[in-house]
C-alpha cells in the first residue's frame, strides 16, 4: 500500500473519536507550551543575571595586579594596579573595546545620625561610558562630576532604608592603605535605582581621585574595567592586555560561580523536561492503545485483505506523528506567546531579589527567546512520542487475522 494512502487512513482514523483526539492534542500542546515557556523563562533569568553582573560589576575584561584578591577588596599598595590610566588608554585604543576606565574598590561603613550600613565603595571616572547604566538609572539629584570633591551616589533602596535624601550629609569610614580608619563627611549628590536590589543596597560611588585620596592609595587603582562591543572578543582582548606585572580576566572567569550554577541547575531542568515529555508520551500511547482495542476487527479485515504487519504498524506510527506534529505546533505557538509576554512585561518579584546576594538578580525577571533550544525541545518531544507509540503499533501489527475477526 502506498505511503501516501497510509497517511490518509491514519488521518481519517483520528477523526473517528474526535473528543479523544482533541483531548490528546490539548495534552500535547500544553506539555510543549509548558516546556517552551519554562525554558524561555529560565534562560531569561540566568542571562539577565549574567548581563547585570557584567554591566554593573565585572565588565567583560578586567586588568589587575596579579596579587589582588577581589574577595578581600585590598587597599595595600602591593596589591593595587600601577599606571592604571595608561592601561585604560591602551585598552581604549583596541577596536574591540567600547569603554575602559580605572576603578578603585573599598569596603566602607556609611553612618547617619541614627543608623549605619556596610557597603562597597566605588571610585570611578564619572565621564566613562562604563557608568552609563548608573547615569541612566538616576532617580533623584545629579550624577557625579569629575571635580566633585564631596559628593557621593547612593542606591535609592539603601537611602530609603536609612532615611537619607539628596543634599544630606553622611559619614563614610574606611580602613585605608596604611590600615588606619579614615573618616570623612560627604554630601549625597544623587540616588539611583539600577533594578538590582542587592546592588543598590550595597554600593556607593565617588570620583576616582577623591576615593584615592580618601583611602590613601596614591594614584593606584584596583583594576581597569572594560566593556566590549562583543563579549565573544573577551579572550582576545585579555591576551592583548596581559603583561608580566598584570593579569587580565574575562567575564567567564569573573562570573564562574554563576556559570557553574547554570550548568548544575541545567541537569534539574532537563529532568523536568523529560518528565513532561514522558507524560505527553503516555497520553499518546494510551490514545493509540484504545484505538487498537476499538478496531481489532478492522485490523483483522485489513490483514486478511493483504495488509502486512509492518504497514499496520506504520499506520499507527503515522497517527502518533500527526497527533505529535499538530500538538507540538499549537504548543510552540502558545509557549512562544508566553515567552513573548515574559520578555516584554516580565514578572516583578520586588524585595525577593535582594535575598540573593551572590547573583545579580533584578527585581523584575524577564524571559528570553531561545529558538534553537525551543526547536530541540519540540524535536525531542516528537521522538519520545514516537518511541512511546511503538508498543501500541507493534501490538496492532502482531494480531492474527483469524483471532482479530472473531473479536467482539
pLDDT in tens, 17-39: 677 778 888 888 888 898 899 88
- Mean pLDDT across the chain, nearest whole number? 83
For 362-382, the pLDDT digits (tens) are 777 888 898 988 899 889 888
**Can you tell me the distance from the alpha carbon of 14 to that of 320, in angstroms, rounded to the nearest whole number?**
10
Task: Give the pTM.
Answer: 0.78
* pLDDT tens by residue, 111-169: 887 788 888 999 999 999 999 989 999 999 999 987 778 889 999 888 888 888 898 99
* All residues at 6 or more sequence positions from 11 whose CB lies less than 8 Å from its CB, including other chains: 322
User: Of 208-222, 323-337, 345-359, which range is least confident?
Assistant: 345-359
pLDDT at 6 (0 to 100): 64
**Rounded Cα gap, residues 215 and 106, in angstroms:** 8
Closest Cα partner for 224 from 207, 238, 214, 210? 238
Q: How many CB atoms sit inside 10 A of residue 408's CB?
A: 4
Q: Could you give the maximum distance between any two Cα atoms of the chain, in Å?
A: 99
For the stretch 65-112, pLDDT in tens is 988 887 788 888 888 988 888 899 999 999 999 999 999 999 999 988
Average pLDDT value for residue range 258-283: 82
Tell whether the model's pLDDT for residue 247 goes beyond 70: yes
For the cut 60, the answer to whether the pLDDT of residue 254 exceeds it is: yes
pLDDT at 404: 43
More confident residue, 73 or 12: 73
* Mean pLDDT to the nearest integer, 396-408: 52
Q: End-to-end CA distance of the chain: give it in Å, rounded.
A: 27
Residue 405 has pLDDT above 50, yes or no: no
Does residue 311 or residue 94 have the better pLDDT? 94
Give the residue, 105 or 278, on which the prediction is more confident. Answer: 105
- CA angle, 154 then 159 then 162, to 5°: 135
Residues in CB range of 199: below 8 A, 6 or more apart: 52, 56, 57, 155, 360
Q: How far is CA 300 from CA 6, 36, 263, 323, 406, in A?
A: 16, 41, 52, 24, 9
- Predicted confidence (pLDDT) per residue in 195-205, tens digit: 888 888 888 99
Q: Does residue 53 have a pLDDT over 90?
A: no
**pLDDT tens digits for 220-245?**
999 999 999 999 999 999 999 888 88
Amino acid at each position: 500500500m502506498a505511503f501516501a494512502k497510509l497517511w490518509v487512513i491514519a488521518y481519517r482514523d483520528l477523526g473517528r473519536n474526535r473528543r479523544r483526539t482533541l483531548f490528546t492534542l490539548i495534552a500535547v500542546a500544553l506539555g510543549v507550551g509548558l516546556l517552551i515557556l519554562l525554558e524561555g523563562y529560565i534562560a531569561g533569568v540566568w542571562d539577565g543575571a549574567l548581563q547585570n553582573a557584567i554591566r554593573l560589576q565585572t565588565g567583560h575584561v578586567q586588568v589587575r595586579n596579579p596579587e589582588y584578591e577581589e574577595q578581600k577588596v585590598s587597599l595595600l599598595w602591593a596589591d593595587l594596579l600601577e599606571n592604571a590610566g595608561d592601561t585604560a588608554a591602551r585598552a581604549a585604543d583596541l577596536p574591540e573595546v567600547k569603554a575602559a576606565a580605572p576603578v578603585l574598590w573599598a569596603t566602607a561603613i556609611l553612618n547617619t545620625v541614627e543608623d549605619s550600613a556596610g557597603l562597597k565603595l566605588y571610585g570611578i571616572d564619572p565621564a566613562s561610558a562604563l557608568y552609563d547604566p548608573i547615569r541612566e538609572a538616576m532617580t533623584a539629584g545629579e550624577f557625579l562630576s569629575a571635580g566633585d570633591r564631596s559628593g557621593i551616589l547612593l542606591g535609592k533602596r539603601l537611602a530609603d532604608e536609612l532615611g537619607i535624601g539628596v543634599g544630606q550629609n553622611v559619614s563614610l569610614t574606611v580602613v585605608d592603605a596604611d590600615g588606619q580608619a579614615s573618616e570623612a563627611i560627604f554630601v549625597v549628590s544623587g540616588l539611583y535605582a539600577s533594578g538590582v536590589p542587592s546592588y543598590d543596597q550595597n554600593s556607593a560611588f565617588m570620583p576616582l581621585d577623591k576615593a584615592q585620596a580618601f583611602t590613601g592609595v596614591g594614584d593606584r587603582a584596583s583594576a581597569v574595567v572594560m566593556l566590549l562591543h562583543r563579549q565573544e572578543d573577551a579572550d582576545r582582548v585579555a591576551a592583548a592586555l596581559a603583561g608580566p606585572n598584570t593579569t587580565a580576566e574575562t567575564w567567564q572567569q569573573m562570573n564562574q560561580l554563576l556559570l557553574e550554577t547554570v550548568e548544575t541547575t541545567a541537569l534539574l531542568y532537563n529532568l523536568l523536561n523529560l518528565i513532561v515529555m514522558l507524560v505527553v508520551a503516555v497520553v499518546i500511547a494510551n490514545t493509540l492503545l484504545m484505538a487498537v482495542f476499538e478496531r481489532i476487527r478492522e485490523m483483522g479485515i485489513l490483514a486478511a485483505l493483504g495488509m502486512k504487519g509492518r504497514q499496520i504498524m506504520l499506520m499507527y506510527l503515522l497517527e502518533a506523528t500527526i497527533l505529535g506534529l499538530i500538538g507540538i505546533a499549537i504548543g510552540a505557538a502558545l509557549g512562544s506567546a508566553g515567552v513573548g509576554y515574559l520578555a516584554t512585561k516580565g514578572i516583578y518579584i520586588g524585595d525577593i531579589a535582594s535575598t540573593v546576594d551572590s547573583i545579580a538578580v533584578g527585581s523584575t525577571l524577564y524571559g528570553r527567546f531561545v529558538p534553537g533550544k525551543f526547536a530541540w525541545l519540540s524535536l525531542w518531544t516528537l521522538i519520545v512520542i514516537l518511541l512511546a507509540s511503538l508498543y501500541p503499533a507493534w501490538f496492532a501489527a502482531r494480531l492474527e487475522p483469524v483471532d482479530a475477526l472473531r473479536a467482539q
